[in-house]
């Protein structure tokens, strides 16, 4: 049984406290299908999230099978299923692949046969077996709602919370979904709570909960709804609510609520007696002497001390490695099926190195040396010095510019790699985390996927430019710094993506970050010393550029030094700083991945 006792959820608005859920008390027995209805903004979704534990109750208590969820821990991930308003599946995947991934992330199966059996059963229950090979992106609204339900049923939840799963559907699809939820509530004593704005198909529910401005206005059988509100049709309930304050409706309900709860109990016993409702058999200790032997199972169970009731065995969760492998496999599958993303990556991979090679000829010119013999002619000596300095300026500027161009392009690649990686799937990730996904497995899968992109982009840039031009220094050291700057910007933008709520916010901030890399590096124009000392530690482009310049041949290095007006750092300092950027960014990404960011 699910029980709420004076549950409130309070926020601060304009300096004062406002109860979005205001002292809600009710009992929901096993095998029950309840609709939560009310006008827009009355607190329906807020109540559902409070029950789920997404909104911690400000006061009051929630009990599940006699266990106080406020003090005894939340629902186990396998005990509860939550179907939000938004789609929780990836468009490029098929229905079968979506359900398989959900199963692998939430349930530890002993073998492939058990996995396939569970998937097939869930697809059959949700009415999706005939379209299991269809891509999610081509499903209708009703089919997507069924898929959302199927992905929650993989763990056999004992309580299923549905938030507006019928909104936006045509009348036929709406009735099919309500009928499906009704049938699901009749299996294994599952409680199904459905938030809906619609007052259609109320006869399929066991009870109706009406909210008004966060207060409980009615909780009883659907056939008594119109009688209680003194209206002829259920569609008149919402206008009727507006005729009185929420406090008056709540006060009225407190006087009549007990009698309506007895009606629900009577209807429940009728369903059990008729065989329409089957409850799972549980092994319990003999009832106390003062308890009737044929008492309702939920009532008898709730009456016993908590210490005498064994908590239901939760399904075993998959381990870190299993979740990591599932997520990484799914990410690569999504990547290769997104043709736009594949073409974009290939275009960047091919075009960016070509852009660099367009300027490579200017960096390959010779640099004349000063004559060993002293020029007797002063005019010739001056001309020689001017020629050497002209060569140095020409080659040094070109080499410095090409290195910085490579660095900035790879920084841009890093931004493109990860700016939307987490923020773009924030809703799905939060839902999967609620279902038991480990943030560590999720972040590790992202790092593994992005590492492949970073390695391919950086090494291809280094080898392509060197093949059509030539890096005039230690090539592998230069390639290493290109790899580090790409990894650094990828990690930093991944951290931004983890901290932001939307992909648009993350992309915009990442673009600004890349845009400021060049002017703040000091490679083009030297910054004032007081500003340079503050900004330089945070500019990845400077450290990759500086480390690459330090790996140049002596003559080319001197040429670069002759045209830049800034100090260079030692290669070891560059290496440690870029590594620190990566490490700090991954820590921030970890913090962002762990932090709940539900809408």
> How many other C-beta atoms can be found within 10 angstroms of the C-beta atom of residue 346?
10
What's the confidence (pLDDT) of residue 524?
Answer: 61
Give the per-residue pLDDT at 593.
95
Query: What confidence score (pLDDT) does residue 310 get?
Result: 43
What is the number of alpha carbons within 13 Å of residue 314 lying toward its C-beta?
Answer: 16
Domain 2-79+157-280+294-303 belongs to what topology? Answer: Rossmann fold (3.40.50)
- What the block records as the tokens of 371 is 């004559």
Is-contact 349 486, C-beta < 8 A?
no
DSSP state of 274: H
Rounded to whole angstroms, the Cα distance separating 494 from 96 reads: 30
Query: Rounded to whole angstroms, how far apart are CA atoms 324 and 319?
Result: 9
Query: What are the residue ranges in the chain where pLDDT is below 50?
Result: 282-295, 300-311
The model's pTM? 0.87
- Hey, where are the domains in the chain? 2-79+157-280+294-303, 320-594
pLDDT on residue 295: 44
What pLDDT shows up at residue 309? Answer: 41
What confidence score (pLDDT) does residue 490 get? 97
321: burial class by Cβ within 10 Å (0-12, 13-18, 19+)?
Answer: exposed
Residue 120 is predicted with a pLDDT of 96
For position 378, what pLDDT does the model report?
Answer: 63
Residues 463, 406 contacting (CB under 8 angstroms) = no
What's phi and psi for 215, nearest 5 deg?
A: -105, 150
* Spatial distance between the Cα atoms of 189 and 171, rounded to a whole number of angstroms: 28
């Amino acid at each position: 049984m699910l029980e709420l006792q004076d549950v409130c959820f309070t926020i601060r608005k304009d300096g004062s406290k406002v109860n979005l859920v205001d002292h809600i008390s009710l009992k929901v027995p096993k095998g029950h299908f309840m609709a939560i209805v009310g006008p827009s903004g009355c607190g329906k979704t807020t109540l559902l999230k409070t029950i789920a534990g997404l909104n911690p109750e400000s006061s009051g208590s929630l009990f599940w099978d006699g266990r106080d969820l406020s003090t005894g821990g939340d629902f186990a991930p396998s005990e509860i299923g939550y179907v939000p308003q938004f789609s929780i599946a990836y468009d490029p995947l098929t229905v079968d692949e979506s359900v398989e991934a959900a199963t692998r992330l939430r349930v530890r199966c002993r073998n492939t046969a058990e996995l396939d059996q569970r998937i097939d059963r869930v697809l059959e229950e949700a009415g999706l077996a005939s379209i299991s090979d269809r891509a999610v992106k081509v499903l209708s609204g009703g089919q997507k709602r069924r898929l959302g339900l199927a992905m929650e049923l993989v763990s056999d939840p004992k309580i299923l919370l549905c938030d507006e799963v019928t909104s936006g559907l045509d009348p036929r699809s709406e009735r099919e979904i309500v009928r499906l939820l009704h049938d699901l509530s009749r299996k294994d004593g599952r409680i199904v709570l459905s938030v809906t704005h619609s007052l259609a198909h109320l006869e399929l529910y066991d009870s109706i909960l009406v909210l008004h401005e966060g207060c409980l206005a009615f909780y009883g059988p659907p056939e008594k709804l119109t009688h209680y509100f003194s209206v002829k049709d259920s569609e008149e309930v919402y206008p009727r609510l507006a005729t009185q304050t929420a406090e008056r409706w709540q006060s009225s309900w407190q006087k009549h609520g007990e009698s309506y709860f007895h009606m629900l109990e009577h209807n429940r016993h009728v369903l059990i007696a008729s065989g329409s409702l089957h409850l799972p058999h549980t092994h319990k200790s003999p009832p106390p002497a003062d308890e009737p032997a044929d008492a309702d199972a939920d009532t008898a169970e709730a009456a016993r001390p908590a210490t005498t009731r064994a908590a239901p065995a939760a399904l075993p969760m998959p381990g870190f490695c299993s979740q990591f492998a599932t997520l990484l496999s799914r990410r690569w599958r999504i990547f290769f099926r997104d043709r736009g993303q594949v073409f974009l990556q290939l275009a960047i991979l091919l075009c960016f190195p070509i852009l660099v090679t367009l300027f490579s000829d200017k960096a390959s010119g010779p640099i004349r040396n000063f004559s060993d013999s002293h020029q007797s002619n002063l005019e010739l000596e001056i001309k020689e010095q001017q020629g050497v300095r002209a060569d140095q300026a020409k080659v040094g500027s070109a080499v410095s510019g090409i290195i910085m161009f490579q660095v900035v392009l790879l920084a841009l690649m890093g931004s493109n790699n990860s700016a939307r990686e987490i923020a773009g799937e924030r809703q799905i990730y939060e839902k999967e985390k609620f279902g038991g996904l480990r943030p560590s497995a999720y972040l590790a899968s992202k790092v593994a996927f992005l590492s492949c992109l970073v390695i391919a982009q950086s090494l291809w840039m280094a080898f392509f430019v060197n093949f059509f031009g030539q890096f005039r220094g230690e090539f592998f050291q230069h390639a290493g710094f290109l790899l580090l700057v790409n990894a650094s910007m990828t990690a930093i933008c991944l951290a931004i993506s983890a901290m932001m709520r939307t992909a648009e916010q993350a992309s915009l901030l990442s673009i600004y970050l890349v845009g400021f890399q060049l002017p703040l590096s000091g490679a083009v124009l030297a910054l004032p010393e007081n500003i340079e000392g503050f900004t330089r530690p945070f500019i990845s482009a400077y450290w990759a550029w500086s480390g690459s310049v330090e790996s140049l041949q002596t003559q080319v290095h001197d040429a670069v030094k002759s045209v830049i007006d800034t100090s260079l750092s030692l290669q070891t300092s560059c290496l440690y700083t870029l590594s620190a950027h990566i490490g700090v960014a991954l820590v921030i990404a970890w913090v962002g991945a762990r932090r709940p960011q539900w809408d």
